[in-house]
Structure 1
Amino acid sequence: MARAGLEVADIFRDHGAAWRAANAGHISLDQLKVMSAIERCRTAALGGHVTRCEDCAHEHIAYNSCRNRHCPKCQAGAAKAWLAAREAELLPVRYFHLVFTLPKQVVDIARTNKREIYNLLMRISADTVIKIAADPKHLGARVGITSVLHTWGSAMTHHPHVHMIVPGGGLSADGTKWIACRKNFFLSVRVLSRLYRRLILEELAKLHKAGKLHFFGDHAGLADSAAFEAMLAPLRKIDWVVYAKEPFAGPKAVLAYLSRYTHRIAISSSRLIRFDAHSVTFRAKDYRLNGARRNTTMTLATGEFIRRFLIHVLPKGQHRIRHYGFYGNGNRATNIARIRDLLGAEPPTWKEVGDKDEGDNDPCLRILALPCPCCGGRLIIKGTFEPTQQTRAPPRSTRHAA
């Protein structure tokens, strides 16, 4: 089945029911909710509104979004709103991109301990950067960090890692000056990797001792303290993959990057090529190849595609984007204003992010964010309609008089 505008929702609608029946008892409630949300997103099941174009008078029906953070169709709007809030926080300095990963043995543990391992990954990676940056031997400054958790590789396999965006410098200990790093060098990757490795292993041992890790199947034996320690021992001797990419060329490049990465999910609908009852084919990247041949295609059984998508459903309440250091939520605005004063900089005023058109404040004018499908003009909401009623429970049987 090859068609234009192929979506993950199409796969779920056509084959989700059969997959749920075949895997009954092995699907979490959170995964079921995600499937339901994606299947119903922008359909009559969620209601919607009737719009009219200001330019060509074309009337258009727009259905409501599910707003689920795992839905491919809902992430563009969420990313735009998030970026508008982040615009005023960008500083006129170079930004660096760091990536922290986990070895396979820890990734295997994370499959059944997502909340504990994901929280550990985000917290320890941030602590590592903050501690090394504060050391006078390296930078001697308090830095700011925006961390984004990704749990997938290009083939939708389980690959938890953190993408980190860090300004190239930080505040001095007394907060009286801005300390800039070298032009193309932030912190030593080797030093970061070793401290990160030590802190992760220490915290894993503490979690195991406190009984907060759970093991099943082939890993059930790791519940024993001696077996768990034996598993950790070789990890102390290998290099953990931490790397830094080239610095961004200014704040606009950071916004462009964040718009692609912050609200990304396991696979976007744009990567889908075709699907049928037996398989799904999509675009992927083979990191074993070099140059232009790195882009390739992959075909998975339809059931396996659904399974891989759902292993990336985050635990309820799990925050995927977090801020640390002088970007910490408590004093973020104060710290950023202080840094701008030290740098002698004004807040950014780029019009492409977060600006509103004239008339948007008119309570009588309700404007839809999507453009007119005919001419690209502005759509005005003329009316709304309620969601399709769904049966919540079987009807009660009528009791006959005795």
Structure 2
Amino acid sequence: MMRLAELIQQFEPELLQRYAHRLLPSHRQALSALGTCRTRFAPHMLAACAGCHTQACLPHSCGHRACPHCQHFESEAWLQRQLKALVPATYFLVTFTLPAQLRTLAWSHQRVVYEALMGAAWNTLNTFSQNDPKLAGTPGALAVLHTHNRQLGFHPHVHVCMPAAALNAKERLWRTKVELGKTPGSAQPARGGYLFSHKALGKVFAAKVRAALAQAGLTLPAGLPERWVVDCKAVGDGQAALRYLGRYLYRGVISERDILRCKDGMVTFRYRDAQSGKSATRTLPGADFLWLLLQHVLPKGFVRARNFGFLHHNNRRSLRLLQVLHLRPSAPPSPPPTTSPPRPVWRCACGGAMVILRRRLRPDAMPACAAPQTERPDKADPVEASKH
């Protein structure tokens, strides 16, 4: 396994030489943050054990949402919030893909195109739900923007996880189109599970994206397909789909354990082949590997995951009432949503809790203290220096 910070320190000069004309301010900020994450160049924290009073100086994590080494706690907290919002219905994972002809435009106008992509995906599903005789109401959906394929190429698409259900607030009706399996505790969809026609979804989605981009003043390239690719498949009770969506939400597009080696200026990483389902590897120059990762750094402040309809945060009370009134017989009542759990305690080798005394010390201004053998929970860093 290779540390991403080590690769940035090694190949950043070559990257800047070859791709400087294409780097955005957000890319340079990501390079600066990820390249010093938990290294000797990062700001340090001074901590002391509450039991034996031993002191330790350790580097901060960068807290950048593209860093594979950070924000494990945020990722898990997000997943738990979404799991608490599950409703008793079969879930579908609907994937809206931007055509290849629009990728250059998407790269040049990322914020505009990504906003149009996510808005059109939700508006399409909402339109179909309102017009469906079995639903005839507002659906709930969680949309997550992904910009990469399995080989880390630039491939913008939106995954929407939504139950086959809708809420008609005016008539106070809750309708479901596809029920879960009748076996107690089953997460499998009922036989004949079907939400919407993927061909019809693709046609309406294409029209809505075109309209949004034209309204934004962008000129569309020639040769766009009439019907765009939309995939719609049942995913049971939704838990597995939520875990998949949360995998790349806070921790970048690749795990450090999938960066296998760096030799002779070439970096090899592992991915899962979409056709065979088996692991495969890709090897390319170090600067090109870094450029692949930087392509997926989103514009500053852009929200990658969004809740819509009755799953929006403003509808918490209605959602809670639905969960109580339509609870699955096999499922115990779930507690009401609470605030995020506290971060795991950072413990000393003696078992005592480490207390942060000072933060963001410059490496050259650290006090003379020996770092003891402490247990620092990598999956839930007690302090993250900054949020990007």
What does 1:299-310 align with in structure 2 at a 5 Å threshold? 299-310=283-294
Judge conservation of contact 1:52–1:381 (CA < 8 Å) in 2: yes
The answer on 1:321 being equivalent to 2:305 is: yes
Query: Which residue pairs with 1:363 in the alignment?
Result: none
Q: How many angstroms apart in 2 are the aligned matches of 1:355 and 1:323?
A: 18
Judge conservation of contact 1:150–1:160 (CA < 8 Å) in 2: yes
Deviation at 1:117, TM superposition (A): 1.0
1:69 to 65, 71, 90: 65
* More RCO (CA 8 Å, sep 6+): 2
Q: How many angstroms apart in 1 are the aligned matches of 2:230 and 2:352?
A: 46
2:295 to 295, 305, 311: 311
Judge conservation of contact 2:198–2:230 (CA < 8 Å) in 1: yes
1:127 to 123, 129, 136: 123
CA RMSD of aligned residues (A): 3.2
Q: How many angstroms apart in 2 are the aligned matches of 1:349 and 1:61?
A: 40
CA distances 1:278-317 after superposition (whole Å, capped 9, x unpaired): 2100002333x425xx321000111111111111111122
What does 1:3-402 align with in structure 2 at a 5 Å threshold? 5-44=1-40, 45-50=42-47, 52=49, 61-137=57-133, 139-183=135-179, 184-207=193-216, 210=217, 213=218, 228=220, 230-232=222-224, 235-236=225-226, 239-248=227-236, 250=237, 252-253=239-240, 255-276=242-263, 278-287=265-274, 289-291=275-277, 294-329=278-313, 331-344=314-327, 348-349=334-335, 369=345, 379-381=353-355, 383-384=357-358, 386-388=360-362
Q: CA, structure 1 residues 136+92, in 2 after alignment: closer, same or farther (shift >3 Å)?
A: closer
Paired residue secondary structure (2:254): coil
Q: CA, structure 1 residues 131+269, in 2 after alignment: closer, same or farther (shift >3 Å)?
A: same
Q: How many angstroms apart in 2 are the aligned matches of 1:138 and 1:170?
A: 9
Query: Which residue pairs with 1:394 in the alignment?
Result: none
Judge conservation of contact 2:83–2:239 (CA < 8 Å) in 1: no
Deviates more, 1:130-139 or 1:15-24: 15-24
CA distances 1:43-63 after superposition (whole Å, capped 9, x unpaired): 342222435497x99976543
Q: How many angstroms apart in 2 are the aligned matches of 1:304 and 1:314?
A: 18
Name the amino acid aligned to 2:86.
Answer: L
Q: CA, structure 1 residues 253+33, in 2 after alignment: closer, same or farther (shift >3 Å)?
A: same
Question: What is the TM-score of this pair, normalised by structure 2?
Answer: 0.78
Q: Unpaired segments of 5 or more residues in structure 1?
A: 214-222, 361-366, 392-402
Q: Unpaired segments of 5 or more residues in structure 2?
A: 180-192, 366-388
Query: Which residue pairs with 2:385 in the alignment?
Result: none
CA distances 1:30-83 after superposition (whole Å, capped 9, x unpaired): 1111000011222342222435497x9997654322111111111312212323
Name the amino acid aligned to 2:311.
Answer: Y
More helix by share: 1
Q: How many angstroms apart in 2 are the aligned matches of 1:206 and 1:185?
A: 33
Judge conservation of contact 2:345–2:354 (CA < 8 Å) in 1: no
Q: CA, structure 1 residues 256+57, in 2 after alignment: closer, same or farther (shift >3 Å)?
A: farther
Q: How many angstroms apart in 1 are the aligned matches of 2:79 and 2:162?
A: 16
Q: CA, structure 1 residues 241+379, in 2 after alignment: closer, same or farther (shift >3 Å)?
A: farther
Deviation at 1:116, TM superposition (A): 1.1
Question: What is the TM-score of this pair, normalised by structure 1?
Answer: 0.76
Deviates more, 1:256-265 or 1:133-142: 256-265
CA distances 1:208-255 after superposition (whole Å, capped 9, x unpaired): xx3xx3xxxxxxxxx6xxxx46434xx22xx4211123323x365455
**Larger of the two Rg values belongs to structure:** 1
Percent of aligned pairs sharing the same letter: 28
Judge conservation of contact 2:3–2:256 (CA < 8 Å) in 1: yes
Count of residue pairs brought into register by the alignment = 348
Judge conservation of contact 1:178–1:343 (CA < 8 Å) in 2: no
Paired residue secondary structure (1:35): helix
Judge conservation of contact 1:91–1:251 (CA < 8 Å) in 2: no
Judge conservation of contact 2:95–2:157 (CA < 8 Å) in 1: yes
Name the amino acid aligned to 1:295.
Answer: S
Deviates more, 1:107-116 or 1:258-267: 258-267
Deviation at 1:149, TM superposition (A): 0.5
Q: How many angstroms apart in 1 are the aligned matches of 2:171 and 2:251?
A: 35
Name the amino acid aligned to 2:300.
Answer: K
Q: CA, structure 1 residues 28+259, in 2 after alignment: closer, same or farther (shift >3 Å)?
A: closer
Deviation at 1:107, TM superposition (A): 1.7
Q: How many angstroms apart in 1 are the aligned matches of 2:360 and 2:169?
A: 56
Query: Which residue pairs with 1:399 in the alignment?
Result: none
